[in-house]
Amino acid sequence: MNILITGGTGFIGGALINSLIEQGHTVTVLSRNPDKVAKLCGSGVTALTSLSQLNAEDRYQVIINLAGAPIVGARWSKARKQEIRDSRIGLTEQLITCIARMEIKPNLLISGSAIGYYGNQGDTVLSEHATPYEDFSQQLCADWEAVAKQAEQFGVRVCLIRTGLVIAEGGGFLQQMLLPFRLGLGGRLGDGRQWMSWIHRQDWINIALAMMTDTTMHGAYNATAPNPVTNAEFTRLLAQCLNRPALLPVPACVLKIMLGEMSQLLLGSQRVVPERLLAQGFKFEYEDLAAALHQALSQPALNQR
């Protein structure tokens, strides 16, 4: 297949591209840094610096839309929130405009989203049919998905992939946690009772590949392992895998002072289950968190092409 990917140089996108290339697909990547595309993905991948470079006669069987500024990092000022929204919603709007111009439409649009769609919901088990709780992350994801679904008016099958916390070697939230835990300075966040819905990166890639081949798949899917854990349990397992203590919890009040509104990403609770994927018969390689952590911690950083 001929595949267009936005956000292809990110933590998920780079590994996805390698898998697609290994399967013999032709990949084009939208990136503001074409040199980075060549370094990470190899010379066989075409790089675009703008969607304006797409022509009406260009043909892609699949478009995978993963672009977006990091939601974790700088505090959520009004300007930062707007940047986060524009990098997702604004770019997706441009993508829909490009699809409208294409003489031959893609068969499938896989568009990124996140379990932030559900908002902070405590111990409530959240399937794809759950009613969301409104906050910034929820509104961001809902608006992002609404724009992506506009591709359906052109006969494009749309799959929305609500991604949890992604575990793999060499990046992501796990990489940010390793140094304090290896120094014995790790600990739970707040009271540790908030749920963390996670997924191994290889399972995320397998979900995307399944969406490409199974034409019955459409709509929103929770890209999370079937067994979410509390922050306290995650902390215990990570410390155990590293053979280190986890004795220094970070009080919620400290996180709120340090991070402001963004602290809800660490203190909020989302107990998400992949109901639709399981009903579809999808088989996870990593259902157990300990196995996922052991695999990620035993591997060197991803050797990109």
| DSSP string across 84-132 | HHIIIIIHHHHHHHHHHH-SS--SEEEEEEEGGGG---TT-EE-TTPPP
pLDDT of residue 305: 38
Cα distances (angstroms) measured from residue 285 to each of 101, 179, 199, 202, 204: 39, 27, 10, 8, 10
157 Rama sector, left if φ>0, alpha if ψ -120 to 50, beta otherwise: beta
Model confidence, pTM: 0.93
Q: Quick one: pLDDT at residue 301?
A: 56
The pLDDT of residue 31 is 84
Query: Which residue ranges in the chain fall short of pLDDT 70?
Result: 43, 300-305
Place of tokens 């979900």: 207
Domains of the chain listed by start with CATH number: 2-298 (3.40.50.720)
Rounded distance between C-alpha atoms, residue 145 and residue 102, angstroms = 21
> Residue 286: helix, strand or coil by DSSP?
coil
Cβ atoms within 10 Å, residue 43: 9
What does the pLDDT read at residue 246?
86
| pLDDT tens figures, 40-61 | 777 678 889 889 999 999 999 9
